[in-house]
Amino acid sequence: MLASTHTFGAGPLRGEITVPGDKSISHRALMLASLLDHPINIRGLNPGRDVQATREALIALEAAELTHEPVQIDCMNSGSTARMVLGICAGANRRAVFDGDESLRKRPMEPVAMQLRAFGARIHTTDGKLPLTIDGRTEPQTRSFILLSQSAQIKSALLLAGVAAQTPVTITNDGGSRDHTERMLRYLGADIISDGKRIELRSTQLRPHDIDVPGDLSAAAFFITAATLARDSDLTITGVNMNPTRTGIIEALRAMGANIEIINAREHCGEPLGSLRIRSATLTGTNIDPLVALRAIDELPLLAVAACFAHGSTRITGIRDLRTKESDRVAAIERLCASVGIACETEPNALTIHGGTPKAGGGTIATEGDHRTAMATAVLATAAGELSIDDARCIDVSFPEFIATMRSVQTT
């Protein structure tokens, strides 16, 4: 089947929208629900293919629970599914074969496998990547772990292994990565303490509570950035997750001069949320340090797009992990900048964008199947002019209704 192209145009964003349920929280809600003794209702699940991969992986595990044959798990394009469900298998002493699509097969799995081996899991990767097999586990070598990389997925895999094995665990050297797993465990009654650096899961006893998944800030970020850049925009996004480990995009855009107002801030199901009002603004270049970059890791292509329009230069450090996402997102940023005539200089762990007056020439951006590159192209087009993408279907990974939502609020 041929990829479907799509063209985005310029114009302000005005009105009010909602965004899909948070993808990260949706994964964790399904995984922890699978470890409960009683069923719960999960409302607002993200409708994308990544979360569908997790749902199908957990169904496969449940269906094969009483057999001794390895479970075949297709993670599709979802690294979250591969790494965190692997943690469940490690804790539950399950045998499974994990695989995924061509893109996921290129992404590193040895870092999570190595840490789960210390939990006793017998894991074999293919040159550090998928496909991999887990052949149950032996007695854990340790219940105290030092994170070797600041990865929320690896941290979550260890916590899920502890819950599945009903074994307390301690994790240090976190570095402030996303804490959705810790918050949801606490909401479900686990005895867990964390301070952003050290996590202690003292009791794995969970109580069933229904979960409402808030709107995904990573999805909202495309509209936040677009409304900031497109002249005469005034957009409200309701019910968005405002977890402080995820708000680096808002902090960085505000530092550049963005007009972003948080309305009706509150907490629900263990997560902070609120609504956002964004009005167009003139931006100035800034320095974005690794701590902010960590809290905006999925949104760094958007910050690069914003930097194209800023007066002066913007330097972003802490970008190394962008090379091993669904695609090489540093290379994607270079393509986006080049498409509108903006200079971008890259280093192994940093990039500098020299802002100016971006002007699109109607070109086509190669997405390499990456949903975030596709949607970042739309954001760039709202203020720079017409741009196309070579594959609109990849957007379905996280935000199937993105194009329709953009059309509903953009005036061209």
Dihedral sign for Cα atoms in the order 284, 345, 79, 87? negative
Question: Three-state secondary structure along the chain?
Answer: CCCCCEEECCCCEEEEECCCECHHHHHHHHHHHHCCCCCCCEECCCCCHHHHHHHHHHHHHHHCCCCCCCEEEECCCCHHHHHHHHHHHHHHCCEEEEECCCCHHHCCCHHHHHHHHCCCEEEEEECCEEEEEEEEECCCCCCEEECCCCCHHHHHHHHHHHHHHCCCEEEECCCCCCCHHHHHHHHCCCEEEECCCCEEEEECCCCCCCEECCECHHHHHHHHHHHHHCCCCEEEEEEEECCCCCCHHHHHHHHHCCEEEEEEEEEECCEEEEEEEEECCCCECCEECHHHHHCCHHHHHHHHHHHHHCECEEEEECCHHHHHCCCCHHHHHHHHHHHCCCEEEEECCEEEEECCCCCCCCCEECCCCCHHHHHHHHHHHHHHCCEEECCCHHHHHCCCCHHHHHHHHECC
101 is catalytic: no
Q: What distance in Å separates the CA atoms of residue 359 and residue 381, rounded to the nearest whole number?
A: 9
Which of 298, 321, 370, 391 is labelled catalytic? 298
Kind of pairing between the strands at 271-279 and 313-317: unpaired
Closest alpha carbon to 314 in 353, 348, 346, 340: 353
With a CB cutoff of 8 Å and minimum separation 6, the contacts of 278 are 223, 224, 227, 228, 233, 234, 235, 236, 237, 258, 259, 260, 261
Q: What distance in Å separates the CA atoms of residue 205 and residue 154, rounded to the nearest whole number?
A: 21
The structure tokens 């393509």 sit at 335
**What are the tokens at 76?**
């599709």
Residues annotated as catalytic (active site), given as ranges: 298
